[in-house]
Structure 1
C-alpha cells in the first residue's frame, strides 16, 4: 500500500510534454492539428485521465495529505483542457462504494442509453459520444452540489486555457480539448471503459486486461485487482496478481481492448444494458 513516489514525476513529464506539443501545433494546418490530437495528444490526455483516476485514490501523496492529491489532480487536469478532476473524485468514490448501484453509480448507463443505443450503428455512435455521457450522466442520475475545490478546479483550468490561447492561439487549445474528446470516444484506449464492467462473461461485472496498453494507462486494465484493493497504486497492481494468482488466474479476462470495442458494437448480447445493476439500502 502507500503512495507511489514516482507518479508525480511521471505526471509532470506528461504535462510538460503536452505543453510543448501545444506550442508545436499552433502553426499546423487544421487537418494535422486533429490528426496529432487523435494520434498523439489524445493518447497522452487519455493516459492523464487515468493518472487522475490514480490520484483520486490519494496514491500520489498518501491519504494523510488529501488536499495535496486534489491540487495535484488539478495540475494533471491542465492538458486535458476541460476541468473535471475534482468532480471525478466526488463521483468515483460512489463507484467503488456502490458498484453498479442503481441511481448511485453514475458509471452505469441510463435507461435511455440502453433503449436507444441498441443497434450496431447506434452503439458505434454511443462509443463516439462517451465523453458527452460521462459529463451529463452524473447531472441526471445523481446530481450533487458544487464544492469549493470544484470551483477552484474550474478557475485554474480556465486560466490555463486562456494562457495557452494567448501564447499559442486557438489551434493549441483545440488540440488539447479535441485530443481528450477523440481519445475518450472511438479510440483503442477507450476500450477499457467497456472492458471494465460490461458482462462479456455472464455473472462477471468486472474483468481485467493484462495486455501492453497497461503500460500507458497506469495499469487500469488490472481492474478486478483495483476494485479489490483500490488504495494500491496502479504501478503495483501487477504485484497483486503475482502475489495472489489463485484469486485471478481462473477469472475471465480480455486480451484486446480493440476486440472489446468490436464485439460491443456487433454482438447482439452486448450494449449499454449489458451491466449488472444492484439495489443498495438507503443510507
Structure 2
C-alpha cells in the first residue's frame, strides 16, 4: 500500500510543522511588491509604445492573470500574517481578473474538500477536463473562462443561490460584492469613450494571458486519479524559478494541497521534506502538455 499525504505530514517533527505554518507580512508584501513592480514595468513599456511592445502585452497579461495565484493563496489566509491584508489582497486580485473573492473562497475550499472527485469537486462539476482536441483548444483559448466569469457574476448578483457549495450565511455578502464589482466595471468601461488605456493595459493583456493560466491550471490535477490521497490526485510540476515566482510557488501543488495552511514562501522547504513519496509529478509544463495532448481523442 502506498503512503498517504497525512502519514507523510505526521512523520515530520512537530516543531518543523509549526514553523512551516508561520505567516509573514514582510515576505508576502515583498513578493507582492515585486509582482506589482513587474506589472508597472510592462505597463509602462506598453504605454510608451517601446520596441517590441506587442510582446510586452503578453508578458503584462501573464502577470495580470497570475494574480489568480495570489487570490488563491488569500483564500487560505496565508500570504500575510495580518488578516485584513489577506482579505484586501484577495478582493483586489479577484476584481482585476473578474473573479469575486468571496465566491471564489468557498468555491476553492470545496475544491480542497473534494479534490478530483468528479461528483463533488466544483472544478470538475462546473467544467470537465477536455478530452478531445476540439474541447482542449477551446479550453486553452480562455474564451469559455470569460463567458463563465460573466455568467457567474450575473448569477451571484441576482440568483437566490448561485451554487450548492455556498453556505447560506455568505449569500448576502456574495450578492453585495458581485453588485459592487458590476457597478465598478461599468464605471471603468465608461472610460473607453475618451481613452483606450484600460483596453490596452488591462482587457487585451488579460485575454492574451489567459491561455497561459489555463495550461498552468490544467497541470494541477489534469489526468490525476480520483482518489483521496493528495500525493496522487494532485500534481507537483518541476519548473523554473521565474514560473515559481510568478505563480507564488503554487507549482508545488501536492505540497499545498497536503498542507494548505503552509504559506507560499515555505512551500519549497516543505517540498524538500515531502519529495521522496510524491507520486504524481511532471518535469515541466511542456512535458505535461505533451503527455496530456498525446492522449486526446
What TM-score, normalized by structure 2, do the two folds share? Answer: 0.69
For residues 60 and 168 of structure 1, the distance between their equivalents in structure 2, rounded to whole angstroms, comes to 38
3-state SS, counterpart of residue 248 of structure 2: coil
Deviations 1:11-45 (A, max 9, x none): 2443354356546535759xx8764332x112211
What is the aligned partner in structure 2 of residue 2 from structure 1?
22
Q: Give the conservation status (yes or no) of the 8 Å contact 2:75–2:90.
A: yes
Aligned residues: 256
- Relative distance call for 1:259 and 1:252 in structure 2 (3 A) is same
1:231 counterpart = 2:261: yes
1:182 counterpart = 2:217: no
What is the aligned partner in structure 1 of residue 86 from structure 2?
69
1:82 counterpart = 2:82: no
Structure 2: gaps spanning 5 or more residues: 1-20, 156-161
What is the aligned partner in structure 2 of residue 43 from structure 1?
62
Structure 1: gaps spanning 5 or more residues: 270-283
Deviations 1:52-111 (A, max 9, x none): 11121101334xx54442222123345x35243332212111111122344532111558
- Relative distance call for 1:175 and 1:126 in structure 2 (3 A) is same
1:121 to 131, 134, 144: 134
For residues 76 and 222 of structure 2, the distance between their equivalents in structure 1, rounded to whole angstroms, comes to 23
What is the aligned partner in structure 2 of residue 258 from structure 1?
286
| RMSD, matched Cα | 3.8
For residues 60 and 269 of structure 2, the distance between their equivalents in structure 1, rounded to whole angstroms, comes to 30
Where do 1:1-283 residues align within 5 Å? 1-5=21-25, 6-15=27-36, 17-18=38-39, 21-22=42-43, 25-26=46-47, 28=49, 35-38=55-58, 40-62=59-81, 66-77=83-94, 80-110=96-126, 113=128, 118-129=131-142, 131-132=145-146, 135=149, 142=164, 144=166, 146-148=171-173, 151-152=176-177, 155=180, 159=184, 162=188, 165=191, 169-185=195-211, 187=212, 189-199=213-223, 204-212=232-240, 213-248=243-278, 251-268=279-296
Q: Give the conservation status (yes or no) of the 8 Å contact 2:43–2:201.
A: yes
- Relative distance call for 1:137 and 1:77 in structure 2 (3 A) is closer
- TM-superposed CA distance for 1:225, in Å, is 0.7
For residues 43 and 292 of structure 2, the distance between their equivalents in structure 1, rounded to whole angstroms, comes to 34
Q: Give the conservation status (yes or no) of the 8 Å contact 1:15–1:76.
A: no
